[in-house]
Amino acid sequence: FRRVLFRSTEIDISYIIQKVKELDKIDVVIVGFGRMGKRHYKELLQNNLYNIIGVIDPYIDLPKNVLKLNNFNEAQKLGAFCAIISTPTNTHYDIVLDCLNYDINILLEKPAFLNDKHFTDIINKTNYKICVGMIERYNPMINELINIHRSGNGHRIVYCW
C-alpha cells in the first residue's frame, strides 16, 4: 500500500482512489463536432470518468448515437458540468459567454480568443474554470518544425495544420 501525508495525517492512498471511483462521472457537452470535436469525443468515450451528454453543432449531422443539443440551456438541464469548445476561434468569445451564463465550466481549444480584450473581459466576469487546450504545442512534430524554422538552413515550412 502506498501512503501519503495529507494535512499531517497518514492516509492509505487506495482509500482516496476508491472514493474518486465512487464519484459520478463528469457530464460534458462538446461544442463543435469538426476535426477536434470528434477527437475529443473519441477520447472521452475511452475514459470512464466522463459522460458525454450531447453535442452542440448546428452545421454537422451527428451519428445516431449522439444526442444533438440546440443550446446551453438544454445542456444545463441535462447536468452539464463543463463544455469542450472546439469551434473556429472567431466564435469562442460568444460561446464562452453563453457557457458562463449557464454556469458551465470550459475547456477551450487554442487560440482562445482573437484579442486581449476578449480575454480580459472574460477573466473579469467569472469565477468559473476556463482552461485552454495546448496539447499540440507539446507535440514532438511541432517542436521539430520550430527547430527547422529557427535553424535558418534554407528549409521553408509551407503548411502546418
Q: Dihedral sign, CA of 84, 87, 93, 98?
A: negative
Higher-confidence residue: 104 or 147?
104
Q: What pLDDT is recorded for position 7?
A: 45
Give the span between the Cα atoms of 50 and 33, in whole angstroms.
Answer: 17
Q: Average model confidence (pLDDT) for the chain?
A: 81
Surface-to-core class of residue 51, CB atoms within 10 Å of its CB (0-12 exposed, 13-18 middle, 19+ buried): middle
**44-59 confidence digits (pLDDT tens):** 999 888 999 999 999 9
Among the residue ranges 17-21, 119-123, 148-152, 157-161, the one predicted with the least confidence is 157-161
Does pLDDT of 67 surpass 70?
Answer: yes
Identify the helix (H) or strand (E) that includes residue 118.
helix 116-125
Question: Position of cell 438541464?
Answer: 77
pLDDT of residue 29: 97
Contact 80, 29 (CB under 8 A): yes
5 pLDDT higher than 60: no
Residue 68's pLDDT is 96
pLDDT at residue 74 tops 80 = yes
151/43: higher pLDDT: 43
Of all residues in the chain, what percent carry a pLDDT higher than 90? 37
Whole-number pLDDT of residue 8: 44
pLDDT tens per residue across span 111-140:
888 888 888 888 887 676 777 776 666 667
